[in-house]
């Protein structure tokens, strides 16, 4: 997975940037009724969240996304700048509405329902990305999410020479990389996304290992299969590690997967082995869920290393 680039190493993240709107009830969530609770706005989007976590971990990170032409775009760009994310490779789309993600959790912070309005990401076309191909290829790692159009993902796999890491993000969008797995270096699916990609019902340890081996058989170098409360299965070649979650105080699960991907990428940049990388991903996820917002502002390399040392 070695890649040589001129100058200091950096990571390029290509994917979604949203304004997140989160509603959380004070008590039990009652469907079909108005619930007392809190509503909060925060910058989000899988790609942006991964980039934000990487920046907090001290990684030089450049985000490629599409911003609309509205106040929410201004707020997103400002938040990226304040977080230390380089957005000079991103695009502003005239007259377009910024991507928005609306979700409601239960009182414990578990997401119950969501609506995403992400049509602007269709503007991340091969033609637009082609104008930045040299900068993308000079990255140490390129991270993509499947909010990108299928044609764009295909173009990335054909033209990008840097190692490509992918978060398939949902069962609805995972199929966009189904025929591209051999061009990816690493994949971080959850249980349902792995089932969707491999056509294997994961119900026990043998079926879990079968799904992972099928994914590796497609040409992937590493698979990090997130199992929710059951931890993380890390796989590379004949090496398998089933790791438990790091202890934490759950506040809000939204954003845990994005932090995990950032932790995994950080670990790769540190030259850590498979199991250590998985532990870094789990540690980052445990930090993420302890915050009421999507990206925990207390995320840092020092905090991650401290949690790894426990």
Reported as a single tens digit per residue, the pLDDT across 124-151 is 999 999 999 999 999 999 999 999 999 9
**What CATH code is carried by the domain that includes residue 58?**
3.40.1190.20
Give the 3-state secondary structure of residue 232.
Answer: strand
Q: How far apart are CA 160 and CA 185, in angstroms?
A: 12
Strand partners, 38: 24
Q: In what order do the strands lie in the sheet with 11-14?
A: 61-64, 11-14, 141-145, 164-167, 186-187, 222-226, 232-236, 239-243
CA distance 119 to 298: 31
| Structural domain contains residue 5 | no
Cβ pair 32, 274 in contact under 8 A: no
In this prediction, residue 244 has a pLDDT band, given cuts at 50, 70 and 90, of very high
Within-domain flag for 1 = no
Q: Based on the structure, what is the number of domains in the chain?
A: 1
Does residue 6 sit within a domain? no
For residue range 46-98, what is the model confidence (pLDDT) as tens digits?
999 999 999 999 999 999 999 999 999 999 999 999 999 999 999 999 999 99
Cβ–Cβ contacts within 10 Å for residue 110, how many?
Answer: 12
H/E stretch holding 266 reads: helix 256-269
What mean pLDDT, rounded, does the chain reach?
94
Answer whether residue 1 shows pLDDT above 80.
no
Per-residue pLDDT band at 3 (split at 50, 70, 90): very low
Q: What is the pLDDT of residue 41?
A: 87
Partners of 66 in the β-ladder: 91
Asked whether residue 256 carries a pLDDT value surpassing 90, the answer given is yes
Which pLDDT score, from 0 to 100, does residue 270 have? 97
Task: List the one residue out of 157, 192, 187, 152 whose CA is nearest residue 172.
Answer: 192
pLDDT band at 7 (very low <50, low <70, confident <90, very high): low
Q: What is the pLDDT of residue 109?
A: 83
Helices (H), 64-204: 71-83, 126-130, 133-137, 150-159, 171-174, 191-198
The whole-model pTM stands at 0.91
Give per-residue pLDDT as tens, 172-193.
999 999 999 999 999 999 999 9
Range of 231's domain?
A: 11-308
Kindly state the average pLDDT of the residues 265-284: 98
Angle made by CA atoms 171, 172, 173, in degrees to the nearest 5: 95
Residue at 3 is within a domain: no
Of the candidates 270, 272, 276, the one whose C-alpha atom is nearest the C-alpha of residue 59 is: 270
- Whether 84 maps to a domain, the answer reads yes
For residues 11-32, give the mean pLDDT: 95
Give me the pLDDT at residue 111, please. Answer: 87
pLDDT in tens, 110-124: 889 999 899 999 999
């Amino acid at each position: 997975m070695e890649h040589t680039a001129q100058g200091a190493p950096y990571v390029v993240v290509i994917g979604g940037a949203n304004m997140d709107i989160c509603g959380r009830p004070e008590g039990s969530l009652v469907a079909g009724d108005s619930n007392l609770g809190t509503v909060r706005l925060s910058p989000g989007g899988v790609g942006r969240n991964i980039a934000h976590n990487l920046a907090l971990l001290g990684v030089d990170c450049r985000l490629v996304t599409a911003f609309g032409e509205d106040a929410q775009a201004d707020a997103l760009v400002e938040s990226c700048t304040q977080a230390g994310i380089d957005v000079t490779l991103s695009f502003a789309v005239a007259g377009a509405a910024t991507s928005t993600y609306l979700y409601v959790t239960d009182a414990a912070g578990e997401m119950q329902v969501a609506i995403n309005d992400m049509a602007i990401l269709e503007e991340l076309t091969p033609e637009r990305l082609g104008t930045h191909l040299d900068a993308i290829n000079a990255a140490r790692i390129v991270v993509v999410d499947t909010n990108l159009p299928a044609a764009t993902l295909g173009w990335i796999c054909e033209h990008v020479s840097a190692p490509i890491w992918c978060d398939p993000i949902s069962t609805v969008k995972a199929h966009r990389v189904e025929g591209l797995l051999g061009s990816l270096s690493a994949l971080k699916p959850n249980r349902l996304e792995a089932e969707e990609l491999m056509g294997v019902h994961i119900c026990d340890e043998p079926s879990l290992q079968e799904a992972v081996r099928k994914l590796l058989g497609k040409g992937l170098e590493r698979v990090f299969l997130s199992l929710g409360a059951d931890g993380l299965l890390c796989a590379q070649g004949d090496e398998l590690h089933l790791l438990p979650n790091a202890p934490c105080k759950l506040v809000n699960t939204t954003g845990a997967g994005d932090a995990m991907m950032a932790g995994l990428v950080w670990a790769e940049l540190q030259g850590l082995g498979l199991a250590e990388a998985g532990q870094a991903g789990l540690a980052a996820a445990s930090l993420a869920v302890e915050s009421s917002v999507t990206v925990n502002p207390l995320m840092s390399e020092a905090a991650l290393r401290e949690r790894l040392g426990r």
